[in-house]
Structure formats: structure tokens, C-alpha cells
Amino acid sequence: MHQPPAYLMFGDDDGIYNYCPSPVRVDETTMYAFYCANTLPGIVIDDIYARKGVLEDGRWTFGEKFRVLQPDRLGWDCIHVCDPDVIRGEFRCRGETYSWMMAYLGCDIHHCYHNQIGIAFAKNIEGPYVKYDLNPIVGYDETFHWGAGQACLLSLDGKGKFRMLYSQTVHEYERRRLDTRTFWRDFDLSDADRPVVGEEVAMHEGGIVNRDGLGEAAVFNPTIAWDRTNDLYYLSREGTPFDRTHMPDFIAPYTQVSVISRADFERNEGGWTTVRDFGPEDTGFERNHNAGIVKDAYGALCDPGVLPIALTVSELKERDFLWTYRIYYRELVLAKR
Amino acid sequence: MSRIYALQAPRLAAAAARMKADVNYLGTADDAEVIWLERSHVFVRDAWAEGPVTVRRLQCLYHRLFPGDWLLMDGSLPAALTAKASAYARERGARVVIGLKAGQSGGETSGSAARGEATRSESTPGDAADILVHEPGASWFDNPGAVVQIEPDENLDAWIGTLAISLMNGFDLERSKPLCRRAASLSDIPWYDEVAYA
């Protein structure tokens, strides 16, 4: 079946990077793309930006960017805010009722340390987003570990209950290993002043294999979408192993999407099947990382027959590769299951 | 990215940290000053509540510096200590930025310097700096690697604080200047948001 070619969702100025897209489709022809970018050219401080897109002649066209979240001056998220994901619901907090919620990564130190997860609420998808006063909602104690972050969300009831998947450092101290794995837990923030936080589960990785079957798969940086028609979860992750022979050597050459039944996911004993490895053949770039499955306002696939995905690409360069981070759109027509 | 160390230069440390640089402070500081630094997001590594910075205390700086780091000083230390700290930094592969205010020639703690009568032993050795940024009227001896004279109405602390985040991100001095000037136009030590989103 014909797969439409990948295309650049939007450009940006020199010295500005775009990555970690969270595309939220709110109706047939409207999508908001939330993503991470710096503000001062050449200076690596992450803010969260968004753009409104409209579908015209089968192609998404995006308008001007606007900033939706920024680091505080002090506190747990005072250096970077990034890795957004946004869902619709009904969240009451401090006497206000909000209909949108963003999960994001925040940190208080440079060099990729001490990441934690926070949330912010809004009454309109475009904002303003108000940071939750009980942040971080997923904390991490060790300062000089990567921490917890890269959260993705799906609504469980259309209101305040949602499921969050996220990356988190696993410290195996005897072998001095610091790995990153995917965890998940359920929340109920219908009354956010009295949050219900479910028990953390280490996501079972059974069935997830690397492209070409090479090496042990590491599962982190998840994004998820729920195919409600077939009751399936589609998961994207960073394709491993990384190519250490060319710079940048710390980001994925491909993004892998796998699928599992919701029942198997919740049983947490594996059962994943690879759907597609999105790589250079899709975008023309050797790095395809920090992806976001396009989903509706509640975290579901808009069309159970199509998997749209936003992929961050990078050029291969010894220096200044960061400024080539751009976000491409790709659609995959799914085989009937 | 690199790291920033500020030796006995609390205002420069605060200015750099408020611009979201990764700033570590070493030097004398009482409890109130430590709190003020921490409220500017400075990581206070070694703060001595009593006694001045000494050669012995500079050992704490020596073991913390690594290649690529930047050391900030403000001309308040005696010349010999400034030179020693700079030598340590260079030995460890770090580089040095010194900021001097108008009328300042180094060794501020001595009465003669405060009266503008600095001797060579009290004045700042310019060759201790890879980059020396100064207000008009500051003085030093010997030659820094590069010299920037700011405008009379520019804020020296803000200028150097913004230089710190720029250097951390791999900028050279020339590329840093426009952003430094933007921050230095503000009268108080600015926060990142006041510069980035203005």
C-alpha cells in the first residue's frame, strides 16, 4: 500500500533545535504540535513550544510557534523543561477546573542529570499552562543520575484518570551500570488537591527486539497511543543499539514502533510485536530519534488503520549537529489485525 | 558544555547562575551570603565563614577544576592569589575570566587599593586572565589574553554572568558580545527570563 513520503513539519531559525514532539490532533483537520526548543540561538536551555497545524490537501501546515512552558528561576525545574505530552480531561485543582494537562520533564542541573516529571494544567490547549503545586509528580532522588522523564500519557476515563509511561534510571551498583528503562503507573487527578498515584510498574519488555535482531534491546523514551477499536497499545521507543561510529553517537538511528494488546500490557509479562523501524529510508536522515506518535486529545489513535508519527531527525556532524534537529511527519498504513 | 567556577566573586557567581549557567562557588561567605548565593542557584562548594582565601584554601579549587572549565574572579583577591588561582586553572586545562570595576585595580581588601594607590603586589595581574572585562577606569598590569571595556552605563556583573552561559555553550568572545550587552543593559543582576523572553 502507498505510504506518503515524510516531510518537515516546520522549520526554525539557525541556532534553534526542535525535538521531542507531542502531536495532539483535536479534530479532523486541526493538530497542535508541542515540542522542545531553545529560545536564545546557540544557548541550550529548553523551553516547551507549540504550533497549531491544519490539514490542507493531505498535508499538515503549521503556524507560528508560541511558548507554552518555561523553566522557573529556582526549584526542581529551573534549568530545562522539555519532553511534553498533552491530554484532555477534567482536572480540579485549587478551586479551578482544567480541561488540559501537560506532563513534562524538568531538571535543576545541567549535563543531563536529575530529571524529574511534573505536570501543568490549562483551560485551553494553547495555554496558559499552570504548573501543579505538588510537582514533581514523579520525583527522583539521586542528583547525578539521569533520573525520570520523557513521560507520555493516555486518558483512562476521559476525565482525571490517566496512565503515564516514562523513562527512569536503573542503577545496578555492583556492575556500576546506569541503564534507563520504561516504567508506568496510573493516576487519578480528578481532584488534584488529593492526587491518587498508583504503584510504579517496570514495563515488561518481552517481544521487543532490535532492528536486525542485534544486541539487547533497551526500552526508553516511550510514546504511546491506544487503538480503542482493536484495544491495542502502540509504543514508540529509541531504536537500539546506537551507532557509535559517527556523531551524534548518543541518539537513535531509528525509532521503533511495537504493538501489544491492552490486556497483555496490563498483565505485564510481554507480548510485544514490532510494527516498524522508522529510519533513514523514511526521512533521509541517519538519526531518527525522540519521536511522538500522533494521537487524539485523549491519547488514542485517530484512525485505527493509520499510524502517524513525528520523528526528530539529525544530520551526522562532528560539531553543531544539535542545530539540525528538526521534526518530520510520517504516516504508516497499518496491516489489518 | 563546560562548568563555571567562581572564586571569591559572589556577584559574578550569582549573575552567571541567574542566567542558568552551571556555577560553583568557592570563597569566603557568611551564612547570609551563602543563602543569597543559593537563592541565585549557585552551588556553594567551599564557603569559609572565617579568615581570608589563602594559598592553602586554593587547593580546594585545584582539585575541582577540569579541562574546559571556566574560572571567574573579580579582582578582589591579592595579586599573588589571583596569579596562583589562574596558574592552577591553566594547569588543569581551565581558562580564566576576570572582571574589574571602575577604579578597581585588585586586592580590594587593602586600604591603598581602595584609595586608588595600588602597588604592583596589590593590583590585578592581567596575564592571569584569558578574558578581562572591565568598566572604564579599571587598571591592571601585564597583558590579558583579551580585553573588553564595557560602556559606562553597562552592568559589569550581568555582562560577565551572560558571558559565562555563552562560554559554557561553546561561544567565543565575539559571538558572546551581543547577548552580554543585552543583559548588561539591565541595572540589577538579571535572571535568564528577563533576558531571553524580553
Q: What is the pLDDT of residues A178-226, one digit of tens each?
A: 999 999 999 999 999 999 999 999 999 999 999 999 899 999 999 999 9
Average pLDDT for chain B: 92
Q: How confident is the model at residue B1 (pLDDT cuts 50, 70, 90)?
A: confident
Q: What is the pLDDT of residues A59-98, one digit of tens each?
A: 999 999 999 999 999 999 999 999 999 999 999 999 999 9
How far is B23 from A45, CA to CA, in rounded Å? 15
Query: Which chain B residues are within 8 Å of A71, Cβ to Cβ?
Result: 20, 192
Shortest CA gap A72–chain B (Å): 9
Cell numbers found for residue B67? 579541562
CA angle B21, A51, A296 (to 5 degrees): 115
Let me know how long chain B is: 198
Do A71 and B20 count as a contact with CB atoms less than 8 A apart? yes
H runs (alpha helix) in B39-155: 55-62, 79-91, 111-114
How far is A294 from B57, CA to CA, in rounded Å? 56
Shortest CA gap B169–chain A (Å): 6
Report residue A245: phi and psi, to 5°.
-90, -15
Do B20 and A79 count as a contact with CB atoms less than 8 A apart? yes
Give the chain B residue nearest A109 (alpha carbons). Answer: B22
CATH homologous superfamily of B4-196 equals Ribokinase (3.40.1190.20)
Shortest CA gap A111–chain B (Å): 8
> What value of ipTM does the predicted structure carry?
0.94
What's the pTM? Answer: 0.95
**Residues near A277 by Cβ (< 8 Å), separated by ≥ 6?**
A211, A239, A254, A255, A256, A257
Give the chain B residue nearest A70 (alpha carbons). Answer: B193
Do B192 and A111 count as a contact with CB atoms less than 8 A apart? no
Mutate to test the interface with A, among B176, B177, B193 (most CBs of A within 10 A): B193
Is residue B109 scored above 60 in pLDDT? no
Do A45 and B193 count as a contact with CB atoms less than 8 A apart? no
Residue B113: predicted pLDDT: 40
Which string of b and e fits B93-116 if b means at least 16 CB within 10 Å?
A: ebbbbbbbbeebbbbbeeeebeee
Query: Which chain A residues are within 8 Å of B179, Cβ to Cβ?
Result: 40, 43
Which amino acid makes up residue A229? T
Q: A-side interface with B, Cβ within 8 Å?
A: 39-40, 42-45, 67, 70-71, 73-74, 78-79, 108-111
Q: What is the pLDDT of residues B119-139, one digit of tens each?
A: 566 688 999 999 999 999 999
Instruction: Tell me the pairing of strands A59-62 and A46-56.
Output: antiparallel
How far is B140 from B45, CA to CA, in rounded Å? 29
Q: What is the pLDDT of residues A235-285, one digit of tens each?
A: 999 999 999 999 999 999 999 999 999 999 999 999 999 999 999 999 999
Give the chain A residue nearest B2 (alpha carbons). Answer: A111
Q: Render A249-278 in DSSP notation, one character per residue.
A: -SS-S-EEEEEEEHHHHHHTS---EEEEEE
The DSSP element (H or E) to which A183 belongs, if any, is strand A177-188
Burial class (CB in 10 A: 0-12, 13-18, 19+), A255: buried
How far is A288 from A240, CA to CA, in rounded Å? 11
What sign does the dihedral B31-B37-B39-B41 (CA atoms) show?
negative
Q: B-side interface with A, Cβ within 8 Å?
A: 1, 18, 20, 22, 39, 41, 165-166, 168-171, 175, 179, 191-193, 195-197
Strand residue runs (E) in chain B:
4-7, 23-28, 43-48, 70-73, 95-100, 131-134, 146-149
Let me know how long chain A is: 337
Q: What is the pLDDT of residues B79-105, one digit of tens each?
A: 999 999 999 999 999 999 999 999 876
CB-based contact A229:A303 (threshold 8 Å): no
How distant is the alpha carbon of residue A180 from its chain centre?
15
- The CATH number corresponding to A21-161 among 3.40.50.2300, 1.10.10.10, 2.60.40.650, 2.115.10.20 equals 2.115.10.20
Percent helix, percent strand, percent coil in chain B, to nearest 5: 40, 20, 45
Instruction: Tell me the pairing of strands A46-56 and A30-38.
Output: antiparallel
- Say which of A40, A73, A111 has its CB closest to residue B179: A40
What sign does the dihedral A60-A102-A263-A28 (CA atoms) show?
negative
Cell numbers found for residue A202? 517496570
Instruction: Tell me the pairing of strands A115-122 and A80-93.
Output: unpaired
Residue A335: predicted pLDDT: 83
How far is A221 from A237, CA to CA, in rounded Å? 5
Is residue B110 scored above 50 in pLDDT? no
Mutate to test the interface with A, among B23, B36, B41, B177 (most CBs of A within 10 A): B41
- Say which of B22, B171, B197 has its CB closest to residue A39: B197
CATH 2.115.10.20-classified regions of chain A: 21-161
Cell numbers found for residue A69? 512552558
In total, the C-beta contacts within 8 angstroms joining chain A to chain B are: 42
> SS3 of A105, please?
strand
Is residue B193 scored above 70 in pLDDT? yes
Is residue B117 scored above 50 in pLDDT? no
- Look up cell 548518543; give the residue: A250
Shortest CA gap A51–chain B (Å): 18
Do A42 and B171 count as a contact with CB atoms less than 8 A apart? yes
Query: Nearest-CA neighbor of A306 among A189, A246, A205, A227?
Result: A227
Give the chain A residue nearest B165 (alpha carbons). Answer: A43
**Residues near B188 by Cβ (< 8 Å), separated by ≥ 6?**
B155
Query: Which chain B residues are within 8 Å of A67, Cβ to Cβ?
Result: 197
- Say which of B18, B20, B179 has its CB closest to residue A45: B20
